Amino acid sequence: MSDFPGTGSRPGAALPGADGPAGPGGGRRLRVLAAMSGGVDSAVAAARAAEAGHDVTGVHLALSANPQSFRTGARGCCTLEDSRDARRAADVIGIPFYVWDMAERFREDVVDDFVAEYAAGRTPNPCLRCNEKIKFAALLDKALALGFDAVCTGHYARVVDGPAGRELHRAADAAKDQSYVLGVLDADQLAHALFPLGDTPKELIREEAERRDLAVARKPDSHDICFIADGDTQGFLAQRLGTSPGDIVDTDGTKVGEHQGAYGFTVGQRKGLRIGRPAADGKPRYVLDVSPVDNRVTVGPAEALDVVALTGIRPRWCGPAPAGPGEYTAQLRAHGGEVPVTAELVDGELRVRLAEPARGIAPGQAVVLYEGTRVVGSATIAATERRSAARA
């Protein structure tokens, strides 16, 4: 693994300008560390930063202690193939390139956290945790210590100047928008973050990559959970947590099935329940609750999933914290739509009430608040209030 030599440049210089056609930094030449995953998005982002006149260095994060040689289609990432693709892209762009070993930090902050959250009956978002702990904590801290001004990534989001400082906004391409998983970034991190792709649709990014002769132009996007290459989350958890047989019960406590580990289920799940006895009304049943205390999974009808309010803990703000209650829209899942809400901070917790019920909301997921396209902040969902309970 290679590392950067020490530099004499001033660390931590803030970015005075917004991301735009002329590049970030208000025209000032910046020292930029471009995180290059080996995919098309990060390659084009690095190329745009270099073309804007910045002093760009590419870095690939080795996040696996034992990386596989090749990807499995569009699943997984951080393979040796990805590292080589990133290096080839850096060569075409004409920028220095290094590989940083962050496998241990990734295992502790992302993988171990993922397993622990499922063991506790919660449903984490590892991409959000990776952005918070790896790309905009460990990587950014190291970049600033080495004299870089900013970290550049291929995320689809926009950072613009606002009245109170730099603001995080949704990407122009709504289908690719990744502002939800960036909602954990605070104002200081946004001051050193560059997202050059936020104003461009994905298909145009691929066309641009071809014009730039980047071999990754048509490389499939990675999806699902990057460290579970085969997509079998339940199998991954079983290897680490072992089997723990328990009961699947209906809302009245009647046993309707058995499981090999409550950690293998998440609120809102319908498939893979393996319930032998059908519901009295003949309708499908969904996971309503996962209780690690008594190793029990409760199932019931879809309407019992309707959430009308929730409590979020560990709030993080992408700027000044809101003062008093306010009206926002909220995104409750990485690929979900927005719901109108009212929200306020009460004793350090975010209390959110939904204007219309939403389903499949599980503790451990994130709630991200928006004002228009601007990301206000986020919190981890700790508890939900169901409509059926509110009526009781």
What are the start-end ranges of the H helices in the chain?
40-51, 80-93, 103-106, 112-119, 126-130, 139-145, 187-190, 202-211, 233-241, 387-391
Q: Select which of 77, 78, 152, 226 is catalytic.
A: 226
Active-site annotation holds for 226: yes
Q: Which of 209, 235, 239 is nearest to 221 (CA)?
A: 209
Q: Which of 298, 303, 325, 285 is nearest to 390 (CA)?
A: 303
Q: Select which of 77, 78, 130, 152 is catalytic.
A: 130
| Residue 322: other Cβ atoms inside 10 A | 18
User: Could you give the CA distance from residue 225 to residue 239 in angstroms, rounded to a whole number?
Assistant: 16
- What DSSP designation does 110 have? I
* Structure token pair of residue 116: 């622990």
For β-strands 326-331 and 338-346, DSSP reports them as: antiparallel
Beta strand residue intervals within 126-273, DSSP E: 150-152, 157-162, 165-170, 193-194, 246-249, 255-259
* Structure token pair of residue 286: 């969904």
User: Could you give the CA distance from residue 166 to residue 190 in angstroms, rounded to a whole number?
Assistant: 7
Active-site annotation holds for 77: no
Q: Which residues are catalytic?
A: 130, 226
